[in-house]
A and B are shown apart, each in its own frame.
Chain A
Amino acid sequence: MRSSPLIGIATFLATKILISTLIVGLVILGLSLLIGRYFCGWICPLGTVIDLSDRLHQKFLRGKPNTIRPLRAWKYSILIVILIAALFSTQVIWFFDPIVIITRSMTAAVYPLIAFLLESGLKLLLSVGILQDQLFSLYDLFRQRILPINPIFFQQSMTFAVIFIGILLLGLLARRFWCRYLCPLGALFGSFATLRFTQGIAVASDKCIDCGKCQRICKMDAINADYRSHARSECIECMSCVAVCPTSAISYQLRPKFAPQRIDISRRRFVYSSASGLIALGLIKTGFKNPIATGQVVRPPGALPEPEFLNRCVRCQECVKICSTTGACLQPGLLESGWEGLWTPLVNARHGYCEYNCNLCGKVCPTGAIHPLELSQKQQLRMGTAYFDKSRCIPWYRGEDCLVCEEHCPLPDKAIKFDIREARRPDGTVAVVKFPYVDEKLCIGCGICVTKCPVPGPGGLFLTNAHQQRWGQEAEF
């Protein structure tokens, strides 16, 4: 994630703060002035996966190397929209950046899927009823190594999977479809590559016999019809052509040569993209004045103040994944915090709670959207506050003891207290009952009371972001 220059640049534009990610990104980007789109060919993990799936697709396409060259311009449009949006402090890079896409797909679709399949397979075998003991030890082994203790659930695995599979299926239209036509990071590297100071792929005209093998093998459709020149913005330095040429006419050379080429984007397209970027941006921004004022948006502990958080968070779901094996409270949101907050991590306290002794989400967040906290800091930081729904809480509406919430409250001095009073039950009898209430001064909003409340449905308490304390801020009282 830190290696994607696009994230660094877009985050810089959005936050106007210099962050270390930017420096690393710029170095990586700068290298392409020497060796072109090397990143796409040799480093990008999404590119690698696309190559693998393309190889499968080739079985069906059999030697039909499609080309849809006019689409090359699209990626620049996407890049422009992203940068314009970032300039106006709206981050959308998380939707398009390939590094983020692959991370998100792996953490929130592939991993849960594999875990689910393994788990279900084992359960199926167990239900057959033979070799139980051996199966349970196998199960134990899996749980120690790869499987989470409890099955994990992601609210939007399906969405992420559909996008990921869609990108792979585009390979049926043309190889590396995403990289050729859509990827904004590719566009960024591509633009730098046209300005490179070195030669790269070079063809010895006299040795070339016009067999066209190089053009057919080129995943990126970078080689021109004359077989002697290529689009520098497209070549990803994979060197397949060097290897395939029967007369060794193609070589790879790092000798200095500066020959900038035109990028495949017309002035008109540039204007259109910019304009549509602005319109989309405006619409996103006019959605809610303050989406989190509803109180339902509770962020992980250590989350930056909301605007900064939105700019930093790339929706990689790393925090959600790590949390699913501990507290299981974090889930990717939908539109709870507005369009700008799509897929950002939210606490769903009825689904899971924040483990008192856990501070992992801040540790894994690659962009600092969640600040890494010491355990002692985290244990005092307020994510929000829980409140009782007295029309649902057992002692309050039924006049019977319960106190499950109080039992689970992890604070050394419990944030849930109770009064002992007489209660008149619905049937008219009178009993002495423990009535719980939340001490607002103490509650840190971990949500365990909400998770564990035995009342079916929404439960007898609910979690809000009242009194939340974002990183670097005081709690709002």
Chain B
Amino acid sequence: MNRREFLRIAAASGAAVAGGISNGALFGSYDQLESHARLAVVQNGLPAAMVQKAIEALGGIGRFVKRGDVVVVKPNIGWDRVPEQAATTNPEVVAEIVRLCLHAGASKVKVFDRTCNEPRRCYHRSQIEQLARQAGAEVSHIYEQKFKTAAIPNGQQLKSWPFYADALEADVYINVPIAKHHSLSRLTLGLKNTMGIIGGNRGQIHNHFDQKIVDLNTVIRPQLTIIDAVRILVNNGPQGGNLNDVKETKTIIASIDPVAADAYAATLFGLRPTELSFLVEAQKRGLGSFDFNQMKIEKIDLKA
């Protein structure tokens, strides 16, 4: 083996390793994790209990949070609405996740969201501020100064966008959306929840939405998505306001695959994943999969 050959092999294997790493990061290395479910659905329990069970089914919180980690738990606090109106993530769900992370040894759990209504009102009325703080989280409002423009190398519509530094820098990012109706995208779930950590003029995401939302999600990649479907908003979303539009579904969906989680949540609304064009786009671009036949799913009914 001469020098040139050696270099060629070294370069090739280097590339292979690098590729492997990025693939692993991209798909959450499912292969090694087959012993656990990729998607867990828990129903008919109290919010906290459902969260615990769901995470357990995925292999326990310790699989995601290591001692000393800085964790971001990102709920939807977008609106000045009470939890019963199902426009913001269930505060008990958020609090339970915070508690579990701290229990697993997280050095800090941060909770924040860039709201649509006045932030103080949203944080307060959603009860996320109080309950997450009680659980030990650091709940803070957004600082304009903390938005950093990040490149989106795989972006189709967006080549760069300002992201919240705390989200980019977190060791573990847990996405905790609430499942709701939305007129433009039909539903707002995990992928769209990412809009809460971006800066700039968010309204501009709305046209060519499918591509843009996937673009953003190639940058922020939650290790864990936990969808709050304790109550879902089936109409007049994403704010609601009419209790007749709220349906009690008493469900928590958790997954290491953001696309699978969203796709499963869609079924609660009677929609097939293929009917949500942003999910089709996300699967096509390799963010995850909604091929339920190809993944291990664990369904738990706490009533039974």
Interface on A for B, CB 8 Å cutoff?
123, 126-127, 136, 139-140, 143, 149-150, 325-327, 355-358, 394, 398, 400-404, 406-414, 418, 434, 452-454
Contacts and interface: CB of A to CB of B under 8 A. Distances in A.
Interface string B119-146: 1110001000000000000001101010
Interface in B77-135: 80, 116-121, 125
A334 to B, nearest CB: 26
A409 B236 CA distance: 9
Contacts of A408: 116, 239
Contacts of A143: 141
7 contacts: A149-B119, A327-B118, A355-B117, A357-B117, A401-B206, A402-B203, A406-B183
A355 B81 CA distance: 12
Nearest to A452: B203
A404 B201 CA distance: 11
B208 interface: yes
Nearest to A357: B80
B236 A412 contact: yes
B80 A403 contact: no
Contact of B208 (A139, A140, A400, A413): A400
B134 to A, nearest CB: 17
A140 B201 contact: no
Given A408-B239, A413-B242, A401 B182 contact: no
Contacts of B202: 454
Given A326-B121, A454-B203, A355 B80 contact: yes
Contacts of B140: 136, 140
A406 B116 CA distance: 13
Nearest to A406: B183
Interface residues of B, number: 30
A-B pairs, 6 with minimum CB distance: A454-B203, A412-B241, A412-B242, A404-B203, A400-B207, A403-B184
Given A139-B143, A355-B117, A453 B203 contact: yes
B206 A414 contact: no
Given A400-B208, A403-B184, A407-B184, A149 B120 contact: yes
A411 B182 contact: no
Contacts of B242: 412-413
Contacts of B141: 140, 143, 149
A312 to B, nearest CB: 27
A43 B149 CA distance: 54
Given A355-B118, A410-B239, A454 B201 contact: yes
A402 B206 contact: yes
Interface in B270-291: none
Contacts of A400: 207-208
B204 interface: yes
B145 A123 contact: yes
